[in-house]
Amino acid sequence: MALTGYSAATDVGLRRNNNEDHYLSLPFLGLWAVADGMGGHAAGEVASAIACQTLGSQIRSGTSLSDAIQACHKAVLQGVIDGAGGQGMGSTMVALHSRGRNFHVSWVGDSRAYSWLPDKAIPLEQITRDHSYVQMLYESGAIGYHEIANHPEKNIITQCLGSIDAEDVQVDVVTSQWQPNQMILLCSDGLSDAVGDEEMTDILKRCSNLDQATNNLVRAALNNGGRDNITVQIIAAPPSWLQILQNTYSQFAKLANPARN
């Protein structure tokens, strides 16, 4: 696969009337995110949109990724107070922030990040750990790994942006360094619930570029029932293309804000 740039795709799925997912792609900030809203029509999509908008503005102002996602939680709560969306709306979020050779992945809920390293014996590895009821059952030993996918309560999450029960949410973070030919895949559970790791691996192996990979993953989720909204972003290890964008953005920012120089 040609490891250059990034690609994103989203689809409403086959059983929903509206798409409550949002994604954010800001390569000049080294920032990508997927947010999966909940709360029904005119609410879930509002929550996920607020989360993405807030994340971008927070990172632009220099906030760390985990603190920025915490701010997204408070922004969704404030949105309800302000009359945007509806009572009880919320969103999951998974985000990637890349600077130079380092990257951070942070998340709340069950939207996921995977690492793809084609030369490894097991090339696809889940980076994130779901904030979900079945994950808690698995970690406690109450159920086995192979019971997770078909558990009747697998869609119950334990953390989300906008939860009225939490002043702050648990924002987990993983920090690592880019490896040659690595890709990071971000997705809502519309993909991960419908397409298993083995099928994802086969699709990624067969694709020749990032656009084909994102589109084929979405198509696989649709072929497997498309029960939920589906959103996928794939970001390649950042060689010069990302550094050039970030340097250009920094130069424009200095020109636009000379008082900061």
Q: What is the CATH number of the domain that holds 218?
A: 3.60.40.10
What range does the domain containing 220 cover? 6-252
Domain-located, residue 259:
no
Domain-located, residue 258:
no
Note the pLDDT of residue 151.
Answer: 81
Note the pLDDT of residue 217.
Answer: 98
CB 114 within 8 A of CB 213: no
Angle in degrees, CA 252, 105, 111, rounded to 5? 115
Domain-located, residue 91:
yes
C-alpha distances (whole Å) from 162 to each of 47, 105, 129, 187 are: 8, 20, 20, 20
Domain-located, residue 261:
no
Encode burial over 156-175: b for 16+ CB neighbours within 10 A, e otherwise. ebbbbbbbeeeeebebbeee
Distance in angstroms (rounded) separating the CA atoms of residues 166 and 70: 11
Domain-located, residue 213:
yes
Tens of pLDDT along the chain (261 residues)? 545 699 999 999 999 999 999 999 999 999 999 999 998 777 999 999 999 999 999 999 999 999 999 999 999 999 999 999 888 899 999 999 998 899 999 999 999 999 999 999 999 999 999 998 887 888 788 888 777 777 878 788 999 999 998 899 999 999 999 999 999 999 999 999 999 999 999 999 999 999 999 999 999 999 999 999 999 999 999 755 555 556 666 666 666 555 544
Encode burial over 206-225: b for 16+ CB neighbours within 10 A, e otherwise. ebeebbbbbbbbbbbbbeee
Domains: count for the chain: 1
Domain-located, residue 33:
yes
Domain-located, residue 64:
yes
Domain-located, residue 232:
yes
Give 83: exposed, middle or buried? Use CB within 10 Å, 0-12, 13-18, 19+.
exposed
